[in-house]
Amino acid sequence: MAKTLVDIDEAALQRASELLGTATKKDTINTALHEVVAEHERLQAARREVERARAGYYAVVHDGASWR
């Protein structure tokens, strides 16, 4: 892991720590970074599913044809 010197909004860091349940600045920052990446990946997956639905991928399920 690299060491980086940055100015951080202490109030935002404190709030993030409370929301994430982290105890140290390092844990808060690293957890927040991981959460941002994970949320982006979840959003991309959801967008892909929406596109699949728009393309008719789920039409058989919607029509009920595969369940009868």
Whether the full predicted model's pTM is greater than 0.85, yes or no, is: no
Instruction: Domain ranges for the chain, please list them.
Output: 10-67
Q: Rounded CA gap, 39 and 49, in Å?
A: 15
Residue 64 binned pLDDT confidence (cut-offs 50, 70, 90): low
Nearest to 14 by CA among 1, 2, 24: 24
Residues 1-33 have pLDDT tens digits of 899 999 999 999 999 999 999 999 999 999 999
Q: Rounded CA gap, 1 and 62, in Å?
A: 48
Q: Does residue 46 carry a pLDDT above 80?
A: yes
Residue 37 binned pLDDT confidence (cut-offs 50, 70, 90): very high
Q: Rounded CA gap, 6 and 14, in Å?
A: 16
Mean pLDDT for 23-47 is: 98
